[in-house]
Structure 1
Amino acid sequence: MAIAVQLLVFGLILLSIIFVVLMPVTLASPGEWEKSKNIIYTGAGIWSILVIITGLANLFVA
């Protein structure tokens, strides 16, 4: 179970790094927000679910 939590944390960190790069580029580029907002919202939803799943999985490890 500890390996599963480590993989969840790794996925969370990876997705967070992608968002740190992607969000400013998307917001700074003219017209990109309209094209990319569904992807951004979907990614934010996945990130939120991943945070909750990681927290719940950590309850069983600790």
Structure 2
Amino acid sequence: MSAYVIVFLVLLAVWIAAGRYFATRPAIAKTLSRWGHILLPLVLIGLGVLILIEGGAFGL
């Protein structure tokens, strides 16, 4: 169980570092500040639909 926690925390740190890296790039920060309120919901909805499809929620 502790291996799962360690892997989770390490990968969480990687995601945080990647987010900080990209958010501090001027071109990406400008794009995110302009389009982030549209992109984030689309990404989250797409991820949710993908999870539902892969999980077989629509299979009859």
Rg larger in 1 or in 2? 2
Higher share in helix = 1
